[in-house]
Amino acid sequence: MTPDERKAELDAENVALREQVQALLARVQELEARLAKDSRTSSKPPSSDGLKRKTKSLRTKSGKKAGGQLGHRGETLRTVAVPDEVVEHRPSHCPQRQTPLTDAEVVLRERRQVHALPPLARLVLREHQALQARCPHCAQVSVGAFPAEAPSRAQSRAVARSTAHRCARAPSSWWSSNISPWATCSNYSAIWGGYGWGAGRW
């Protein structure tokens, strides 16, 4: 094969490769356009969108960090000095010596308060105290366990929150009872306001 023939063969092969590349690029563009179509941009049914469709939030960025902002006054229940009821949780025995701690010296009290409301009654504030008792034999200090209803220093029971929410809505079913719902809600407003919850924040 002469040099001229070799050059002509390479030129023809180059032209064929260019045409093949152009055909492949056109195919890629066609497939990308097909994938970009959904029920909003074509006649395709919404069921064909699958899980790939992404919704765009209409919210604009405020420039603030997530979470509570500086200067925001938090809302939480406050503990009171004199609760209506005190329940002590004393450790039963020393884990090292198995000594009963019924009458052992109490070295510390940790307080947690639960705001509870019996049905159609005044708010009862029960304080739970976890006692830390010292073993008279080995001086090991054991701690009593708080109940599940007292996970933090001050909280309200679910029944109290539910009733307060019903007060805010005042359902008509309450009129079938012998107690005026408006009087009950007024008592709730005074009770929760006195314990750190303002009216309207139920």
In a domain, 166, yes or no: yes
Which residues are paired to 21 by β-bridges?
none
109, 138: one domain: yes
In a domain, 97, yes or no: yes
83, 146: one domain: yes
141, 165: one domain: no
165, 190: one domain: yes
131, 162: one domain: no
The domain of 88 spans 79-154
Per DSSP, the three-state class of 167 is: helix
Write the single-letter amino acid at 27: R
In a domain, 27, yes or no: no
CA torsion 193→195→197→200, rounded to 10°? -30
136, 163: one domain: no
146, 165: one domain: no
Per DSSP, the three-state class of 44 is: coil
pTM value? 0.35
| Structure tokens, 26 | 């056109």
In a domain, 52, yes or no: no
Question: d(Cα 121, Cα 196) in Å, to the nearest integer?
Answer: 19
Query: What are the tens digits of pLDDT across the range 163-191?
Result: 666 565 544 444 444 444 444 555 555 54
| Structure tokens, 136 | 């008279």
140, 162: one domain: no
**CA-closest candidate to residue 145, choices 180, 179, 100, 112:** 112
109, 141: one domain: yes
144, 111: one domain: yes
146, 164: one domain: no
In a domain, 199, yes or no: yes
pLDDT per residue rounded down to tens, the chain (202 residues): 788 888 888 888 999 999 999 999 999 998 888 777 777 777 777 777 666 656 667 777 777 777 777 777 666 778 888 998 999 999 999 999 999 999 999 999 999 999 876 665 566 788 999 999 999 999 999 999 999 888 888 876 665 566 666 565 544 444 444 444 444 555 555 545 544 444 444 3
CA 1 to chain centre: 80
């809302």: which residue's tokens? 75
pLDDT at residue 79 in the model: 87
pLDDT at residue 189 in the model: 53
In a domain, 39, yes or no: no
Number of domains in the chain: 2
172, 147: one domain: no
